[in-house]
Homo-oligomer: A and B are copies of this chain.
Amino acid sequence: MNTGPARGMRDFLPEDLRRRQYVMAVIAEVYQQYGFEPLETPAVENIETLLGKYGDEGDRLIFRILKRGEAAETGQADLALRYDLTVPLARVVAEYRARLPKFFKRYQMQPVWRADRPQKGRFREFYQCDVDAIGSTSMVVEAELLGAAGDVLQRLGFSGYMLRLNHRQVLSGLLDAGGVPVGQHGDALIALDKLDKIGRDGVARELADRGISADGAARLLETFAPSGADAASTEAAAWNAQTLARVTTLLDGRAAEGVAQLTSILSLVAAAPVGAHVRLDPSLARGLSYYTGAIFEISVPDLAGSLGGGGRYDGLIGMFLGEAVPAAGISLGLERILVVMAERGMFPAHIGADAADVMVTIWNADGIADALALAAELRASGLRVEVYPEPDKLGKQFRYAASRSIPCVTVVGDDERTQGWVSVKHLPTASQQGHPRAEVAQAIRTLTARTHHG
């Protein structure tokens, strides 16, 4: 009998899960500080809600649920597992429009399921973590989204992170200015995206293969990968001012609204802490079809790929309403963030490891009721308390506590019980001291604070 999880799925054992919960709690707390509200939708949707929304490839990757009862014999599916958090959001906006606030700002952290071929770091069940603001075309929305994403990264302990910023119209305008016909914008971006891999000459050759003139290709390369520029080592305000000026010149009057919106976003974030992390990047693409305005991507030093991204997509949320609904959002790559934080040892020392602050040992059968009473007292003071469930050799109980990373154990021998004293052993330092019963909780709190921060 196979007792592993299903292919591409994961069990989260306590240590791992506590780390995940820590990160999700930080994200939720920051989003709440920005006035975003939590939303949850069912794992299971009517199949017609999902089909046709993710392209042919997406349709193939949707997990379909068999009809029940007699209809099961037909092999037909009427339900399907949630594939992303955007289509359910669009459904919710259509269904509850009258009850939702005019500016509906929600965050949602739930698993989605995709029948992809599992591989390293790619799973068939994984969490998405989306934040979206619906109902306003104001650039305040973009500025607040960037602010919230920056605060999340900051609070998780990332440094040197960049929130790369571009605009779909600006991107199109630059491709126009480089002489790329509209029908070839996608091809050109694919070629330009290979710069790191195949170099400037390689990209120029690919562009030529696609019928783009040598002059256009040179302009494109200079636009998307200007020689000598290094975003990371230039202060944000100066970088953004230079880049905005350069882009405006290149555009030569094209995409004026896009330029105005980028200018507005940059001025709005300037006064907030995130301002120092926002970098204009005219080469940022994130796919042309989906977004209608600003686009973002989060990068951190020494990491290929991004930790999340998003933008404005005014056409998508209204899919069930049959009208355009202004919307912008950011999706954090929660699974990626967890991998990077684990690799870089970024979790606070006590997150994940310890199942309790203290373990109450059982001296002998006569002492069990008193041990439980002591545990109740310690819990009433807010401590997390494990009770060893059986009388056993004390050394064995100590080793058990150590194996579970519980920093303190209490010992109450027969004499101590009579006298109202409790011995507390701090396992990391192997020090032991007796305390009057009323002072034990405080002593343990002092010892565990030392364990966590020292």
Interface residues of A (CB under 8 A from B): 1-6, 9-14, 17-18, 21, 32-35, 37-46, 48-49, 60-61, 63-66, 68, 72-77, 79, 81, 91-92, 94-96, 99-103, 105-106, 111, 113, 115, 124-125, 133, 136, 138, 140-141, 143-144, 147, 151, 267-273, 320, 355-356, 359, 362, 368-370, 372-373, 375-376, 379-380, 382-390, 400, 403-404
Contact = CB atoms under 8 A, between A and B. Distances in A.
A9 B18 CA distance: 28
30 contacts: A1-B320, A2-B48, A3-B94, A3-B95, A5-B41, A6-B42, A6-B44, A6-B79, A11-B40, A11-B92, A12-B39, A12-B40, A17-B39, A18-B37, A21-B38, A33-B382, A33-B383, A33-B384, A35-B355, A35-B359, A35-B386, A75-B75, A103-B400, A105-B386, A138-B389, A268-B368, A271-B372, A272-B373, A272-B376, A273-B376
A38 B17 contact: yes
A11 B115 CA distance: 24
Contacts of A63: 44, 65-66, 68, 79
Given A11-B42, A13-B99, 5 more contacts: A6-B42, A6-B44, A13-B92, A147-B376, A271-B372
A49 B9 CA distance: 14
A412 to B, nearest CB: 13
A45 B10 CA distance: 10
Given A38-B17, A101-B403, A379 B75 contact: no
A176 to B, nearest CB: 30
A5 B44 CA distance: 8
Contacts of A74: 75
Contact of A125 (B44, B46, B66, B105): B44
B387 A268 contact: no
B390 A95 contact: no
The 4 closest A-B pairs by CB, nearest first: A75-B75, A35-B386, A14-B37, A9-B42
Contacts of A269: 372
Nearest to A66: B64
Contact of A103 (B76, B101, B102, B389): B389
A136 B390 contact: yes
A96 B369 CA distance: 32
Interface centre among A6, A94, A101, by most chain B C-beta atoms within 10 angstroms, is A6
Nearest to A43: B43
A60 B68 contact: yes
Contact of A45 (B6, B18, B103, B320): B6
Contacts of A48: 1-2
Given A11-B40, A44-B6, A403-B101, A372 B143 contact: yes
A100 B270 CA distance: 50
Contact of A3 (B75, B144, B320): B320
A163 B235 CA distance: 64
B272 A372 contact: yes
A79 B76 CA distance: 15
A125 B106 CA distance: 22
A42 B384 contact: no
Contacts of A94: 3
Contacts of A1: 48, 320
A42 B111 CA distance: 9
Contacts of A356: 32, 35
Contacts of A11: 39-42, 92, 95-96
A17 to B, nearest CB: 5
B66 A77 contact: yes
A388 B135 CA distance: 12
Contacts of A106: 14
B267 A369 contact: yes
Given A91-B3, A113-B44, A14 B35 contact: no
Contacts of A81: 43-44, 65
Contacts of A404: 101
Contacts of A370: 271
